[in-house]
Each structure stands twice: as C-alpha cells, then as structure tokens.
C-alpha cells in the first residue's frame, strides 16, 4: 500500500520490473515460484492504484487486492519457500505450508461469501472484511509467511523473514495512525533482497564446492 494512486502505480511498476529481472536471473527451476514474488507484489500495488482512483468502495479492484493480500500470499510464500528448500529442510517446512493451505482456504471462502470494502483515510486506504476467527487466521497467516522464511534454512531468506516481521509491524503502526502507508517501500526492499537471493551462486558454482 502506498499513499496515493500515483505512488502505488510508480512503486508497482518498479517492483514488477525487479520481479522480471529476478526471474531472469534465477538459476534453478525450483526457485521460480519464490523469485516471482516481486511480480505479484508489483501487481498488487498497481491494483491498489485502481482502488485509489475509484475512491475505495467494494469494486472488483478492491476484491482483487484482497485476494492477493490474503489467500494468495498465505499460500504462495510457504509454497515458494518449500519448493526452493533443500530436501533435508522440507520436513520442518511442512508445518507452515499446511498452515498456509488451511488459512488460504478459509480466507478464500470468506472473500467469496462476504463483501470487501475499501475506504480512503487520509493518506492511507483502509480495507474491511468480516473475518470469522480473525486471531486464528492472523496466527495462521504469520506462521505460513514469516514462519516459512525463518525456517527456510537459507541465510538470505531468514533475513527476509526478519525484515517482513519488523517491516509489517512498522507499517501497521503507521497505517493505524492514518499518517502514511509505507508498505510499497517495504515491498521494494523485500524485492531487492529476493533479487540478490535469486542470483546467489549455486553450491556447485562455489569454488571448491
């Protein structure tokens, strides 16, 4: 989320461009789902620029934004981490992956059966959807996304997990005060981290490996 339609559009285009480069630099097929994450984040920002231009409301752009933010990311992140992980690490990643699948299913059902609305609040957009068992869904979402990154066994992805946890907390505080939405800047930082991760040397390419 950014603070205006223009900021969302510019940020989304830039993040999507990082995503395209990340995919082009990816050396292993199993890394492609996670490498494509910046493309998804960029599309998310561009969709939100449409929500801004519509002055919020319950339109299709608002629903598309919620679908990406809630069920899709809840499943995409742990699945991408699982695919890229070494065989010996995948057993512990089954927990966040299962949490993501269950959470995504509940969130998808909720979005299909209940309305989603957006409201302009100063320099932020507020989204509202009636989530049953919200604390459990939030816990499942965090376990799936942040948990998968922290349990990945990859140093860069663990760093990304810390950035996601800290950055999300800061963004929520700023959003709740309706001061300014900073998620777009945070998404750009995460995308740059993933760009470096995708271009890392593979074990066979390390001298002496």
Question: What's the pLDDT tens digit per position in 94-107?
Answer: 999 999 999 999 99
In sequence order, what are the residues at sequence separation of 6 or more whose Cβ sits closer than 8 angstroms to the Cβ of residue 166?
A: none
Percent of the chain with pLDDT over 90: 70
In the chain the domains, ranked by start, together with CATH numbers, are: 5-205 (1.20.1070)
pLDDT value at 206 more than 60: no
What does the pLDDT look like over 130-180, one tens digit per residue? 988 988 998 999 999 999 999 998 999 999 999 888 877 776 655 554 444
Average pLDDT over residues 116-137: 89
pLDDT value at 208 more than 50: no
What is the reported pLDDT for 204?
43
What is the reported pLDDT for 178?
46
Average pLDDT over residues 67-71: 95
Q: What is the pTM of this model?
A: 0.89
What mean pLDDT value characterizes the chain? Answer: 88
What does the pLDDT look like over 11-26, one tens digit per residue? 999 999 999 999 999 9
Task: Please count the CA atoms within 13 angstroms of the CA of 151 that sit on its side-chain side.
Answer: 23
What does the pLDDT look like over 32-58, one tens digit per residue? 999 999 999 999 999 999 999 999 999
Rg, Å, the chain Cα set:
17
What is the reported pLDDT for 169?
75
């Amino acid at each position: 989320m950014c603070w205006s339609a223009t900021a969302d559009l510019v940020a989304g285009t830039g993040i999507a461009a990082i995503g395209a480069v990340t995919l082009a630099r990816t050396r292993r097929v199993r890394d492609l789902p996670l490498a494509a994450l910046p493309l998804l984040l960029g599309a998310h920002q561009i969709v939100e620029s449409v929500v801004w231009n519509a002055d919020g409301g319950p339109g299709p752009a608002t629903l598309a934004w919620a679908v990406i933010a809630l069920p899709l990311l809840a499943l995409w992140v742990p699945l991408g981490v699982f695919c890229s992980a070494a065989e010996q690490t995948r057993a512990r990643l089954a927990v966040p992956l299962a949490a993501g699948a269950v959470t995504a299913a509940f969130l998808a059902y909720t979005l299909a059966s209940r309305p989603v609305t957006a409201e302009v609040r100063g320099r932020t957009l507020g989204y509202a959807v009636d989530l049953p068992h919200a604390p459990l869904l939030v816990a499942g979402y965090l376990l799936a996304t942040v948990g998968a990154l922290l349990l990945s066994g990859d140093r860069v992805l663990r760093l990304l997990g810390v950035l996601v946890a800290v950055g999300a907390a800061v963004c929520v505080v700023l959003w709740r005060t309706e001061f300014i939405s900073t998620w777009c800047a945070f998404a750009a930082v995460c995308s740059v981290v993933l760009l470096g991760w995708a271009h890392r040397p593979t074990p066979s390419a390390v001298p002496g490996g």
